[in-house]
Amino acid sequence: MTDTPHTPTDATPTVNPDAPLQGQPHAIVERDGVRYTLLGTAHVSKTSVDVVRAAIATGAYDTIAVELDPQRAQALTDPDALAKLDLVKVLREGKTAVFAANLGLAAYQRRLAEQLDIEPGAELKAAVLDARERGLTMTLIDRDVGLTFKRAMQRLGFWGRAKVGGGLMTSLFVDEKVSDEQIENLKQGDMLEASFSEFAEGSPALYETVIAERDAYMAARLREIPAQHPEAREVLAVVGAGHLQGMEQHLREDTRDPAALLSDLRTVKEKSSFPWFTLLLAFFVLGGFVWGFWRGGAEVGGELVLEWVLVTGTLGAVGCLLAGGHPLSILTAFVSSPITPLHPALASGTLSALVEAWVRKPTYADFMALRDDVQSVKGWWRNRVARTLLNFFLTSFGTAIGVWAGGAKMIKTLLG
């Protein structure tokens, strides 16, 4: 986590430090010689922005903790944050789905901003900027949004993952208004929960991961502050109102070692390392080739190989073509689609997208226009970043269809 170092100031409280909190959801917890003031905010409220700034302006706090992770903080406070992204690195590290989820979250926030005439999370941004301006210690206490997304997807199960993933992707193409009910819930809730629950409403697994786990996580991060900043005595934690009660309880009662707890809440359980499906598919395909050559000679064996290559390669290439891929990307999709399904560490969509990003390197303008361009269908094909993502998804989808179609064709040939 990234902290801003504390610089001593001569600021002293000139007004009652609790005055800005009157009428606002808040809680005060004293623990281990530190007084924690938890201020519950609404992520779509101009009043919350004013309250946060007024509370910091009292000079009563030496440390400001904010419900953000470094990635979201950078996106809020740095207009050029997207332009600094290394798209090739995202593809190579297998973070394409998380990146797409972040775009879905950004699209949801954009719709809110247009409806309410306020930037979602503006009070968190104000807390970060005011703390920096006053030379106060500033700590980002939220868990990385990518980790939260991955843990949520694992707990939702197959259909839950499909629903949330499909919903997030759909939200990139549609421009529906956020309902009044959702907005009212958001004023008392959490941005991530509102974004995900739009597609998985009422899911206990989603609530546990997106809210309850983060309550424990952020409370543990607050308990780490005295060890990291011994001078901290008055901490103002700016968090969504939906986290206030849970965080207060954890901060008062939790006796677990914060470092161990944080480590556990950052862990993403890996799937079984043994690639059963890939192994069975490879056994079926290669076994079919061997059987064809043995029973029918070069004619039947060669026909099976040719059918597999043409069906999988063609459908993978068609997916890339539909994404507006460069000819070299399409060729890569065609060549890799018959091979990558048989190898656990390769994916035709990744290879094709890497070539696309290399041949048509996204520009600064592409990154800066990304949030606007993904709001329209044409924008996805016009913007090089968005088109690379389309390349990844559509090539992968085409290859997947090709595997089933090619397998069916092979069975028909062998039985014919």
Sign of the C-alpha dihedral, residues 374, 376, 382, 387?
Answer: positive
pLDDT band at residue 126 using 50, 70 and 90 as cut-offs? very high
Residue 63 CA to its chain's centroid (Å): 28
Cα gap 108→170, rounded to integer Å: 11
List, as own/partner pairs, every contact residues 129-134 make where C-beta atoms lie below 8 angstroms and the sequence separation is at least 24, other chains included.
129/77, 130/52, 130/53, 130/56, 130/57, 130/64, 131/4, 131/56, 131/64, 131/66, 132/4, 134/9, 134/11, 134/56
pLDDT score for 176: 60
Residue 65, SS3?
strand
**For residue 182, is pLDDT > 80?**
no
Predicted confidence (pLDDT) per residue in 69-97, tens digit? 988 888 888 877 766 777 788 888 777 77
pLDDT band at residue 413 using 50, 70 and 90 as cut-offs? confident
DSSP string, 136-167: -EEEE-SPPHHHHHHHHHHHHHHHHHHHHHHH
**For residue 146, is pLDDT > 60?**
yes
pLDDT score for 237: 96
Predicted confidence (pLDDT) per residue in 95-112, tens digit? 777 777 777 677 666 766
Cα gap 177→51, rounded to integer Å: 28
pLDDT band at residue 414 using 50, 70 and 90 as cut-offs? confident
Q: Within a 10 A sphere around the Cβ of 323, how many other Cβ atoms?
A: 28
pLDDT score for 364: 76
Q: What is the pTM of this model?
A: 0.70
Q: How many CA atoms lie within 13 A of 287 on its CB side?
A: 8
pLDDT band at residue 121 using 50, 70 and 90 as cut-offs? confident
Lowest mean pLDDT across 212-226, 239-253, 368-382: 368-382
Domain boundaries, the chain: 3-265, 276-415
pLDDT score for 269: 73
The residue with greater pLDDT, 173 or 23, is 23
411 Cβ contact partners less than 8 Å away, ≥ 6 residues apart: 288
**For residue 17, is pLDDT > 90?**
no
The whole-chain average pLDDT of the chain stands at: 82
Predicted confidence (pLDDT) per residue in 305-332, tens digit? 999 999 999 999 999 999 999 999 999 9
pLDDT score for 11: 46
Residue 207 CA to its chain's centroid (Å): 16
Q: What residue type is assigned to position 398 of the chain? A: G
**For residue 29, is pLDDT > 60?**
yes
Read off the pLDDT of each residue in 11-18 and give the average, rounded to a whole number: 55
The residue with greater pLDDT, 197 or 274, is 274
Q: Are 322 and 391 in contact (CB under 8 A)?
A: no
- What interhelical angle do 327-336 and 276-322 show, nearest 10? 160
